[in-house]
Amino acid sequence: MSRLDTHRGRVLLTGGAGYIGSHCCVALMQEGYQPVILDNFANARRDVPDRIALAANGPAPQVIEADIRDRTVMETVLAEGGFDAVMHFAGLKSVAESVAHPERYFDINLGGLTVLVAAMAATDTRRLIFSSSATVYDARATGGAISEDAPLGPASPYGHSKLLAEKVLLAQAEADPSWRVGILRYFNPAGAHGTGHIGEEPADPPDNLMPYIAQVASGRRARLQVFGDDYDTPDGTGVRDYIHVADLARGHVASLAALERDGRGHVVNLGTGRGQSVLEMRAAYARVSGREVSFEIRPRRPGDVAQCYCDATRARAVLGFEARHGIDEMCASSWSWTRRREGLA
């Protein structure tokens, strides 16, 4: 019986101070695990561990400031840490930046993963959960809900870096069956922790829809630009599968449990299985926040697809996971986080 079966284990969270990692850290603490964060703080604030403590109503997690590309440090951390599993969130995530600077994405998302895998192999750490993305699919080749067996075909260097990382992990698990790898393909994470203590630190200006809408609601930006209203969707605007970040975090805890229970790895979509349009998201945010969210229709954004939502069947079957929160809860939690962050609370 592994240590995860007998007591809640120690889990290393690379990139654990980031948006998704910090929510997973809270979820793991609340389930009795001992998460340890490793982060170089390239895209996270220094006070995140203290805010995780507030959100979890517990102690601040241990933090190791390091870069995943540093093999010596990674081996030392893993050799001395006694970790039962690693959750690998560290990486870069902007599709547009990856087109302009693919070298950064292959260096960190692929090179960093390769270093991590080598360090794990050298220290007999063989449980890994990986943050992959719906961007690995060829969304144009997929008509409706996207299942894990849908055609793969990323449209950006970011997507390629994720797909190549998946291949590295699957090859490792095939070569050594004692490895157990959970590959989680996130659809569109949104929202924040219900306490308002942790949430997303968006780029400036934000790349993604929800943080952009939040800044229009707060008055930081004048209006939302809706990229295209002539898609073949019910209201003409792009449709995506927004999943509450707290649900996503529960999905990681379920993935860890499934790796132990099933004795083998999995590749699973994490989404709700439902699509929402840009205008539906805008209307929900305006209603929930009670603020004006002005918008204008702009041309389509290059590279966007009309719709992208998941088939959530395998997540239910393999992880016993189903998203619980809807878009109103995503908007409400995003709004309390945004108000606190922008000093409006």
Least separation in angstroms between CB 186 and ligand NAD: 4
Q: Which stretch binds ligand NAD (CB under 6 A): 38-46, 222-230, 231-239, 284-292?
A: 38-46
242 has catalytic annotation: no
9 versus 112: smaller Cβ distance to ligand UFG: 112
Footprint (CB under 6 A) of ligand NAD, residues 112-141: 112, 131, 133
Least separation in angstroms between CB 57 and ligand UFG: 31
CA distance 155 to 162: 11
Least separation in angstroms between CB 244 and ligand NAD: 12
Candidates 36, 39, 95, 284; binder of ligand NAD (CB under 6 A) is 39
Footprint (CB under 6 A) of ligand NAD, residues 171-200: 186, 189
Helices H / strands E in the chain, number of each = 13, 14
Footprint (CB under 6 A) of ligand NAD, residues 56-115: 67-69, 89-91, 93, 108, 112
DSSP code, position 87: E
Binding partner of 91, given ligand NAD, ligand UFG, none, CB within 5-8 angstroms per partner class: ligand NAD
Q: Exposed (0-12), middle (13-18) or buried (19+): which is 343, by Cβ within 10 Å? A: exposed
194 versus 236: smaller Cβ distance to ligand NAD: 194
Binding partner of 209, given ligand UFG, ligand NAD, none, CB within 5-8 angstroms per partner class: ligand UFG
In this structure, the number of other CB atoms found within 10 A of the CB of residue 232 comes to: 8
Enter the tokens of residue 89: 């969130």
136 versus 173: smaller Cβ distance to ligand NAD: 136
Q: By CB under 6 A, tell whether 19 contacts ligand NAD.
A: yes
For helices 71-81 and 112-122, what crossing angle results, to 10°? 40
Rg (CA), the chain: 19
**Sheet containing 180-186: order of strands:** 62-65, 34-39, 10-14, 85-88, 127-133, 180-186, 266-270
Least separation in angstroms between CB 96 and ligand UFG: 9
Least separation in angstroms between CB 327 and ligand UFG: 13
In this structure, the number of other CB atoms found within 10 A of the CB of residue 101 comes to: 14
Candidates 9, 21, 199, 265; binder of ligand NAD (CB under 6 A) is 21
Alpha helices per DSSP H over 196-344: 209-218, 245-262, 278-289, 313-314, 327-341
Cβ 161 vs Cβ 105: under 8 Å = yes
Residues that bind ligand UFG (CB under 6 A): 93, 95, 133-135, 187-188, 207-209, 212, 225-227, 238, 240, 278, 301, 304, 308
CA distance 106 to 162: 9
Least separation in angstroms between CB 19 and ligand UFG: 11
Cβ 37 vs Cβ 111: under 8 Å = no
116 versus 310: smaller Cβ distance to ligand UFG: 310
Question: Cis peptide leading into 205, omega within 30 of 0?
Answer: yes
Binding partner of 43, given ligand NAD, ligand UFG, none, CB within 5-8 angstroms per partner class: ligand NAD
Least separation in angstroms between CB 159 and ligand UFG: 7
35 versus 275: smaller Cβ distance to ligand UFG: 275
For helices 112-122 and 157-175, what crossing angle results, to 10°? 20
35 versus 273: smaller Cβ distance to ligand UFG: 273
Catalytic residue among 33, 158, 186, 309: 158
Residue nearest to ligand UFG (CB): 238
Q: Which stretch binds ligand NAD (CB under 6 A): 19-27, 145-153, 213-221, 310-318?
A: 19-27
Query: What single string gives the DSSP state of each residue in 1-46?
Result: --HHHHS--EEEEETTTSHHHHHHHHHHHHTT-EEEEEE--TTS-T
Active-site residues, by number, are 158
